Amino acid sequence: MWFSIDPAIVAEAKWTCNHLCPAQEECLRLALKAEADRGAGSRYGVYGGMTPRERGRINVSTNQFPCGTHQAYNRHRRRQEVPCKPCCDAVAAYNALMKARAEMRRRVNA
């Protein structure tokens, strides 16, 4: 979690969340749940690699991520649907990110 309106700090926070943080998905899940419980007025800071505006685009009532995210790709698969191109592109980017994150952790721990 990061709290700033400075675009450079927000970009750094998102990069850190998405590339280094092992709790990124859990952090995002908890932020979405808290914001759903307290309302949109409580949406601030970078949580789980997403800004308040990005989190606001997620349908929190059903917890459905929009197409073009790896979460939506997984939703397509659970429903036994053919994933759309934006979701396929997103999952390819997500897999590349996870591979880079694992390599970064390997280097840090070596």
3-state SS of the chain is CECCCCHHHHHHHHHHHHHCCCCHHHHHHHHHHHHHHHCHHHCCCEECCECHHHHHCCECCCCECCCCCHHHHHHHHHCCCCCCHHHHHHHHHHHHHHHHHHHHHHHHHC
Give the pLDDT score at 72: 84
Q: How far is CA 53 from each of CA 5, 80, 82, 83, 88, rounded to the nearest angstrom? A: 12, 30, 28, 25, 23
Give the pLDDT score at 75: 83
What is the pTM (predicted TM-score) of this model?
A: 0.52
Give the pLDDT score at 60: 57
Give the pLDDT score at 83: 92
Give the pLDDT score at 61: 56
Q: What is the mean pLDDT of each run of 10 residues along the chain (110 residues)?
A: 79 86 85 76 83 78 73 86 92 89 86
In degrees rounded to 5, what are phi and psi of residue 21?
A: -80, 125
